[in-house]
Structure 1
């Protein structure tokens, strides 16, 4: 495993993290604690130290799996990143909650679920600009940081071209940008990444496998069940993406190289990107993801 400095946080994170949206049950299967433990144990074995989760991956469900795991391990082995701003009702149904008093409650609920007294990175979760621009929100978050409940603040931008929130990072004391970035979606390269580099912001690339389309497992025409979040993607857009993936596989992926590993390494070769946070359904996928570090040279 390789490690990089996460911008001005000065935390050294593994270039491969573990995304845990799947633990919330919106990717076609439900998880048990033992299954979550096996994924996280494999990550630790391979040198991964970054876990990304959110309050709305289930109703703090993903956080609860992580918390139960961490409670039986060494908390200091892990950098835990979670998010705020949404209340989960049921699969694919959420309400935005960005009022300062609601965020205080969300953080306390996240800390309880994670069975820890602090989070390493607390991220504004895909909210609109008018909510982001609420000074009271960031004043409240700064107080929570001073109280020791948060080590660092970050912003998970909803649009991968949200220059407004990225450029305002220094003003609100946000040290990390999380953004959708992958071989099929290179928009951040144009404006967001240059802003991150100017401000010395860490960058977490989410959806680095384009919702699994860049795994190489799916052919054009593939369909997904109603319990899978990809079922809600536009069918024509999905077809176009999978056709593009076929072309990429034939023309860009070296012979004998796993496409998923290649796609993660492709993200990490951009100088602005600190770490990628792919989801993984089982320990075998954690192993495949980790191999991307070997392709960096």
Structure 2
């Protein structure tokens, strides 16, 4: 495993880490504590020392499972969690110093911890990034010893740039993959200049970039890939990176030609993310331990050639860019 510095946190984190949106059960299926613990143990066994969770993942069960396993291990493992998505309706007015403090304290209870390594605002409405009192709340929480670092998880590049104006923001979590290249234009240079750690989520575009899907693929009715393709429940960019499913499949066929051989497209898609030195860590999810193993194998692949990098860009420009580039 290779490690990179997570911006101003100073944490030296595994370049391929673990996201836990679906840990312990696929979307629409019940949480399974034994499966969750097996996934987390397998990640740490392989050198992962950064795990991302959130208070809304399985109603706090994900947070609890992550902390339980981490506390049972001797290795130093950093836990990042998120807050704010419990607010309903999810509007800026629901974000107050009191509500934020309550959510942080709730995560501490879920994980039976005294201090959170990294707390991230969980894709709040854009207006929240114009409210200094919300960001100042985290300064007080740090003074109280309840958090070590503040980060933001964003939908829009502009939101990330707004967040960086607050000096206590140490990390930005953003969607970045072969079908979402916009962050490279302004966000990556700004993150480098401001020493902001970049955490990449949805690196496989909700499974599109595994190369295993087809026009016949179906999804559980409770799976966001079935019900959120047009943003019915939350930002549609979280589902297939906002790319039309059929169009995405066409682009994937060209990507497969660019990356022939035995290694799956998913591994190359993850290795592609790591080609960007501004990225601190990428956090693919897993619903079983074997997926952790295959995700981590990507880090050992050779660097992509200039021809392959240019090929990915060309496929993006022809298939994806016209419909999604300016949306996020």
TM-score (norm 1): 0.91
- For residue 30 of structure 2, give the secondary structure of its aligned residue in structure 1: coil
In 2, the alpha carbon distance for the partners of 1:102 and 1:26 equals 30
The alignment's C-alpha RMSD in Å is 2.0
**Counterparts of residues 102-251 of structure 1 (less than 5 Å):** 102-159=99-156, 161-162=157-158, 164-234=159-229, 237-250=244-257
Q: Give, in angstroms, the shift of residue 171 of structure 1.
A: 2.4
In 1, the alpha carbon distance for the partners of 2:42 and 2:25 equals 20
In 1, the alpha carbon distance for the partners of 2:302 and 2:149 equals 28
In structure 2, the residue matched to 1:14 is: 14
In structure 2, the residue matched to 1:291 is: 297
Q: Give, in angstroms, the shift of residue 165 of structure 1.
A: 3.5
Contact 2:135 2:166 in 1 (8 A): no
Higher strand share: 1
In 2, the alpha carbon distance for the partners of 1:108 and 1:84 equals 10
Judged with a 3 Å threshold, the aligned counterparts in structure 2 of structure 1 residues 135 and 26 are, in CA distance, closer, same or farther, namely: farther
In 2, the alpha carbon distance for the partners of 1:114 and 1:226 equals 30
> 216-225 or 34-43: which moved more?
216-225
**Counterparts of residues 84-95 of structure 1 (less than 5 Å):** 84-87=83-86, 95=90
In 1, the alpha carbon distance for the partners of 2:79 and 2:100 equals 18
Contact 2:160 2:172 in 1 (8 A): no
Contact 1:196 1:202 in 2 (8 A): yes
In structure 2, the residue matched to 1:40 is: 40
Contact 2:97 2:133 in 1 (8 A): yes
Higher helix share: 2
- For residue 199 of structure 2, give the secondary structure of its aligned residue in structure 1: strand
In 1, the alpha carbon distance for the partners of 2:60 and 2:181 equals 31
- Per-residue CA shift, 1:93-112, capped at 9, x if unaligned? x7454211001110111111
In structure 2, the residue matched to 1:255 is: 261
TM-score (norm 2): 0.82
For these two proteins, the number of residue pairs brought into alignment is 289
Contact 1:219 1:246 in 2 (8 A): no
Q: Identify unmatched segments of 5+ residues in structure 2.
A: 231-242, 304-328
Q: Give, in angstroms, the shift of residue 272 of structure 1.
A: 1.3
In 2, the alpha carbon distance for the partners of 1:24 and 1:173 equals 33
Q: Give, in angstroms, the shift of residue 287 of structure 1.
A: 0.1
Contact 2:24 2:32 in 1 (8 A): no
In structure 2, the residue matched to 1:79 is: 78
In 2, the alpha carbon distance for the partners of 1:191 and 1:248 equals 25
In structure 1, the residue matched to 2:283 is: 277
Q: Identify unmatched segments of 5+ residues in structure 1.
A: none
Q: Give, in angstroms, the shift of residue 293 of structure 1.
A: 1.1
- For residue 102 of structure 1, give the secondary structure of its aligned residue in structure 2: helix
Q: Give, in angstroms, the shift of residue 204 of structure 1.
A: 0.5
- For residue 172 of structure 2, give the secondary structure of its aligned residue in structure 1: strand
